[in-house]
Structure 1
Amino acid sequence: MHRLSSFLLLVSGYFALAFAGLLQRSCINKDCSALRVSFDNPPINLFNAPSISEINAFLTSLRGTNTSTKVVVFSSSVPGFFGSHLDLHLLDGSTNSSAINSTAVLDQYYDNIELLVSLPTIFIAEVNGRTWGCGDEHLLRMDMRFAGPDAQFSAPEASLGVLHVGGLQQLVQLVGPGLAAEYMLSSAQVDAQEAARIG
């Protein structure tokens, strides 16, 4: 048993090192009270175990009273993508590593989207590319969203029979129940101009 726990500790340490740096951080102003955080998980900014854990560590760090960060602008370093869907292997338990506890990662995911609305920090999404599923859920929970000409929004979960849990309530508040239902049930893609028009 001791060997197994040592091995798992080694593997999880390696895993953390191998995937470190999926969030690129830089100060926007001199005192770093405004911070830019860019998702960098190519090729599509998949929400997998390492990215969810790193987002959780970052958001949790903002919970402390010592933080000087008041504003966070989320963007992407991956051309054409802001954020995509959840790694579906987390749902069926077939992740690439036995060191990953899917239930714990999904708990972190839900913690992340809750932290976006409960922290006193102002969160801004700067979207210039596709954002689907989890990416969509995250940006719907941010305080402000700015979309460039290449932005596309979609909630493809409905076509798989999965509910858009993390963003449905916010979408209803932003566009009303009728448009929210149409968006969710059709799995349609909405461009920046249409998103601005409907709210």
Structure 2
Amino acid sequence: MTLIEVLTSSVMASIVLLASTQACFQVHKAITKQNNLSILQSEAIQAFHMMGLAIQHAQIKTGSPKSSLLKVMAKDSSAPSNKKSGEFQVRKGAASVNSSDAFYTYDAYNKRENGSYKAFFIQQQGHYQNKDGVLYLQTQNKKGALQNDAVMAHVQSMQIKVGVPNASNSILEWMEPYQINDSGRRYPQWKHVRALKIQLVLQRGKTPLELERVFALRH
């Protein structure tokens, strides 16, 4: 075998090896992406299930005083207070986790431990490059103390829109939480809310995913 033939064989072998390496890399990348999507979808389904149950079961007692908690309420760029249930703390800048919204529900007829009050919000965990948004569930124990439990990680933001019936009650109009009035004679108020639309923006590694669900109040 001549020197030219040897060099030609080496070049061809290198090309085949490079092509095989690139193919393996692309296969590994595709498998990683699919695995990340499966994990994100599975975790999101569980999170949406928890939020959906809280929204659908929200209700207040008949004849309850005006000072009692609303059955559902959301707030823009916020998180629930860690001192008192049914209150929010507005967050700005990086602390807002991409201007993520928060909401709570109240089920006056649910007497189980941690059952009557539920709030969902996003909070950033970690440092520097390892920062990650986590969806938390806030509940209240038998002694009235508030506690936060992680539901899922890899959350970039949670955005909420509120559905209220239009003037003819024929369709729902989707509004931002800041457009709903806490009380008074102005319309619409939180007592008029019939549904919440929740969008989760997720990312695991370099794999992004956006999911949206609409939940109607039953009561």
Question: If the TM-score is normalised by the length of the shorter chain, which range does it land in?
Answer: under 0.3
TM-score (norm 2): 0.22
Structure with a larger share of its residues in helix: 1
Bigger Rg, which one: 2
Structure with a larger share of its residues in strand: 2
TM-score (norm 1): 0.24
